[in-house]
Chain A
Amino acid sequence: MTDLAALKGQPVEGHHPWPRLLVNTDTWQDAINGLAEDRWTLSGLWGDDGAVHMALMAAADLRVLSLPCPDGDFPSIGRLHPPAIRLERTISDLYGLVPRGAADTRPWLDHGSWGLRHPLGTPQGGVAPQTYPFLSAEGEGIHQIPVGPVHAGIIEPGHFRFHANGETIVRLEARFGYTHKGVEGLMQGADLDRGSKLAGRVSGDSTVAYALAFARATEAALNVDAPDRAQWLRALMAEMERLANHLGDIGAICNDASFSLMLAHCAVLRERVLRAANICFGHRLMRDCVVPGGVVRDLDKASVSILQALVNEIRTRFPGLVALYDSTTSLQDRTVATGILKAGLAQKFGAGGYVGRASGRDFDARRALAYPPYDRLSFEVPVFQEGDVNGRVWVRIREVEQSLSLIDQILAGLPDGPIHAPVGAQAGEGMAVVEGFRGDVLAWLRLDEDGHIERCHLRDPSWFQWPLLEAAIEGNIVADFPLCNKSFNCSYSGCDL
C-alpha cells in the first residue's frame, strides 16, 4: 500500500477536499524519492508567491505539498523524476523560482518575446529572444528536420525537431509555448464568472472538462455542493464532449493513415453530437454551460428525445465503422505496432486518458475518485496492453460505447430539482480532478475573502503525455509521425496556457 499519509507537514486550514501540507525540504525530498520509486504519481507542480506546490496521487488519495522558497529556489524534482522537468521550467519562467540541481535549465514558455521575465513572480526586464538549443543526436548520416510552429494542417502551433537517420527517427524533441496566453496571470484578481470563462478557454476541445474542474474546485473552496440535477447534467455534457472528441479522433487517426473514408463517416457522427449539444445546451461545444454552483441551462423534454435519437443513431452506425477499421488490412498495417509506448513509462509519467489506458495504466478519475454522479452510474474503463496506435484507437472505440451507455443512464436517472446553487463569497482553497476526454484535468485555486481568485492553476493531462510521444516515436519512420501524434492528440493550448 502506497501511503501518502507518511508525508508529514503542517496542514493548511481551509483546503478542500484533500489536505494541503506545508512541508520542509526533508519531506519534499521524501516525496521526490517516493516519486522516483513509483510509490505515488505526480499529479501537478506549480509555482506561487514565494512557494511551490506539488500534488501527489496514490490510488484515490491526493495531497498537496507546499514548500516555501525564501531563497528563491527549491530542490529539483525533475532531477530524479523526469515528468517534472517541463513543469519546473515553467515555474522558472513564470515565477523565477529556481529548481536546485535541475539538469535542464532551458526556458520553456518564455521565448524572450514578452518584454519581461517572471511575469507572475517579481517581474524583471525582458531579454532578447535567443537561439533555443535543442538536444542533439550525433552520428554518421543523421540530419535534422525542423517542423513548425506553423504546421501544414489545421492544428495548433508548436515546433518539432526531428533527428533522423534516413527515414528513421532517432530523436524527437518538441518545443512549445507558442500559444501561451498568460491564463494564470489573467486569473489573478478575477471574479468567479471571469475565472470560469477563462478556464473554459484553456483547451477548446475540453471546455466542459475544464469548466467542470474549475467549478468543482471553487465549490470545494467555498464548501458548497451543486444540486443533484446539475451534477447529472454536467456528466451528460462531459460524456457528450468525450463522445464528440473520440469520434473525431478515430476518424482523424485513420485519415492520417490516408484512409479518409473513416474520417468522412466519423465526422458526420461528430457533427451530429455537436448539433444535438447546440440544441440541448445552446452551444455546439457546450462552452460556458458549466459554472460554479451548477449549470446555466436545464434540459427540457424535447432535448431528452433528441439525445436519445442521437444515441440510437450512433449505436446503429458506429459498429459498421469499427468493423471497417478492424478489417481493413492496409489500415491495420499502419496502426498496429506503430508508436509503441511502454507500460513502464506510462506508469512513471502518470499518463492519463487513452494514452495511459492503451499502455496498461488502469486509471480513470471518474472511477478512482468517483465524483458525483459517477458513483451512481455503471461503466467500464477499457484498458489495453499493446501501447501502439491501434491500442489508442481501441480505447477510444470502447469509450465511445461506454459514453453512449452513460448518456442512456443519465437520461433515465436524471433527478428533478434546481440546476444551480448560490456559491457565496469567502476565502478558501479548493482542488478538483475530473476526467476529460484526454485524461485527468486538475484545477487548484485560492480565493480571497471577496471570493476573488488569488491564484488558480489548471493542469492539462498533456503535460504527462507530450514527453511520452517523444519516447514512443523513437525508431519509427518520419512518415508515421502524424499518425502517432494524432493518436496521442495532446493539447498545445492546454499546456501552454
Chain B
Amino acid sequence: MRRLLLQALVNSPLTEPLSHDDVELAELASRLNQTTRDRLGRSLSIRELDAGSCNGCELEINALSNAFYDLERFGLRFVASPRHADVLLVTGPVTKNMHDPLRKTYEAMPHPKWVVAAGDCAIDGGCFTGSYAVAGATSQIIPVDLVVHGCPPCPSSILQGLVSLMKGPIHR
C-alpha cells in the first residue's frame, strides 16, 4: 500500500485538466462554482433513483465518482436519503412497480428541489414505451427540470446537465 500511496504523491493526478482537454468541462467547472455558490453555498446533494432502468445509466452515474470525472470537486455529491437531497436524478422508463416509490421519494425531499431525468428511458420511456408494465416518462409522474439524453448518457453529459440545471430559471 505504501508504494501505491507514494506513487500517487509523485504522479500527476488523473483528474482531467479542464482547461485543455475538455472545454465543456472547464466551462462547467467555472459555472458551477459561481452558480452553486450563489444558490447552495458550493454544494449540491444528489439522490439517484433507478425507476426501472436496465442499470446502464447507473454504471455511468457511478463513473462520475472516478478519478477522471471526480464530481465532488464541483461540490456535487451523492447522498443516501432523499431528505438530504437537492436534486433527484431519475433513470429508467418508470415502471408501474416503481411509480409509487418514485413519487414517495420525491415527496420526501425538502424544498427547494430539482429533478433531472437522465437517459432516454427516463425522458420518454425509450424503447420500453407502450409496455403494459411501464407508467411513462418521469415528467408524467413528477415535475422534471432537466433532461440528459443518451443510452446511457456519458458521464460528461451528466455533469454538464447538472450545471445547466444550476443556470436554469427554475426556483421551487
Contact = CB atoms under 8 A, between A and B. Distances in A.
> Among A149, A154, A274, A491, which residue has the most Cβ atoms of chain B within 10 A?
A154
A116 B132 contact: yes
Interface stretch (B28-36, B37-45, B59-67, B162-170): B59-67
Q: Which of the four size classes fits the interface of chain B? A: 35 or more
B9 interface: no
A287 B56 contact: yes
Contact of A149 (B53, B55, B101, B151): B101
Interface in A184-219: 185-186, 194, 197-198, 201-205, 207
B97 A156 contact: no
Contacts of A324: 1, 4
A154 B58 contact: yes
- Taking chain A's interface residues, is the majority helix, strand, or loop, or is none over half, making it mixed? loop
Given A114-B133, A179-B95, A328-B1, A285 B101 contact: no
> Among B61, B63, B82, which residue has the most Cβ atoms of chain A within 10 A?
B63
Nearest to B51: A157
Contacts of B81: 152
B10 interface: no
A493 B63 contact: no
Given A119-B132, A194-B127, A201-B127, A285 B65 contact: no
Interface string B67-99: 110000000001011100000000011011111
B68 A268 contact: yes
Interface residues of A, number: 55
- Taking chain B's interface residues, is the majority helix, strand, or loop, or is none over half, making it mixed? mixed
Nearest to B14: A268
A323 to B, nearest CB: 9
Given A178-B52, A204-B55, A493-B53, A185 B4 contact: no
B133 A119 contact: yes
A60 interface: no
Interface of B: 1, 3-5, 14, 48-63, 65-68, 78, 80-82, 92-93, 95-101, 105, 126-128, 130-134, 151-152, 154
Interface of A: 109, 111, 113-116, 119, 123, 149-150, 152-157, 177-183, 185-186, 194, 197-198, 201-205, 207, 248, 261, 264-265, 267-268, 270-271, 274, 278, 284-285, 287, 320-321, 324, 327-328, 491-493
Smallest CB-CB A-B distances: 10 pairs: A204-B56, A152-B80, A182-B131, A182-B133, A267-B66, A204-B55, A204-B54, A113-B96, A179-B52, A154-B48
